[in-house]
Structure 1
Amino acid sequence: MLIHFPVAALVGLVGADAAFIWNGDPFWARVGVWLAGVGALGGWGASMAGLVDLITVGRIRRLVTAWGHAIIAVMMLSMASMNWMIRLGDDPGAHVYPWGAGITLVTAGFIALAAYLGGRLVYEHAVAVDTSD
């Protein structure tokens, strides 16, 4: 349940970048810095809980889907962190186009793939599901 806010921030970053590119208002570039930061830092925090599950629960550790989810999540968080780092500075709008927006779109793609694999973990493998009656 820790991942909802970072995902919302990183998906919201797509809209902030689009708004900045569309009208050039520096407000949207500043919003993008904050969304990228919340998404990256919150995502790394949430990933620690997932890493603990992956390492300590043998049933999860044996699932290829779990490893794929973890690898995609690390790739996504690396992109999100890089995106945040390039935006920090005196002029947050200087790097939004093309690099910031491009990295944002790649990050959103990784989010979609990680979400798909996470859904498979829950619905196909019953990871984090209480099946006792």
Structure 2
Amino acid sequence: MAKESIPSKMSILGHPIHPMVIHFPVAALLMLIPADLAYLYTGDVFWARAGIWLVGVGTVGGWVSGAIGFMDLVLVVQIRNLITAWCHAILAVMLLSIATLNWLLRVVNPFDEVIMPWGLYLSLLSGLMIGLASLLGGLLVYDQAVAVSPDKMAERRHDG
């Protein structure tokens, strides 16, 4: 565990923005998997339309959140020096590239030809990459104390 916290430059009143805004894009991209499966199972176009919205919200929100995280990566020397931070960033860019491709394919043709097999494949791959990127993000917070407030670090020292 890090001895001192590594503060985020991209914060509001000391609260880091990246962890605040990443939850909605992650949820949208993960919900895309059951939406694709529901469409394949039922054939109801509602699920195909829902998939377009989910992947769109996930992609746009992910790029916004990623830009905020990238700013912390380049602005904070202690974060920039962490291999885990670079691995997290590279996985996030790969994930967002796959999500963007998935979205663009669906906007052109939102039904069968896209969702099966490529849309579902890209959705599942995105879900896997979210898991890996989230694992690395958690390591940054819990093991390296990235964006953990000094007050929380004091609580850790007292409890541990």
Relative to the length of structure 2, the TM-score reads 0.80
* 1:22-101 correspondence to structure 2 within 5 Å: 22-89=41-108, 91-94=109-112, 95-101=114-120
CA distance in 2 between counterparts of 1:112 and 1:82 reads 19
Specify the alignment match of 1:119 in structure 2: 138
CA distance in 2 between counterparts of 1:13 and 1:55 reads 31
1:106 shift after superposition: 0.3
CA distance in 2 between counterparts of 1:110 and 1:3 reads 14
Deviations 1:31-88 (A, max 9, x none): 0000000000110000011000000000000000000000000000000000000000
1:12 to 6, 31, 44: 31
CA distance in 2 between counterparts of 1:113 and 1:21 reads 26
RMSD value, Cα: 0.9
Specify the alignment match of 2:126 in structure 1: 107
Deviations 1:96-116 (A, max 9, x none): 010000000000000000000
Relative to the length of structure 1, the TM-score reads 0.96
1:131 shift after superposition: 2.2
Pick the structure with greater CA Rg.
2
Which consecutive unaligned segments of at least 5 residues does structure 1 have? none
Identity %: 52
Say how many residue pairs are matched: 132
CA distance in 1 between counterparts of 2:51 and 2:27 reads 12
1:92 shift after superposition: 1.1
Higher helix share: 1
1:2 shift after superposition: 0.9
Runs of 4+ in 1 over 2 A off after TM superposition: none
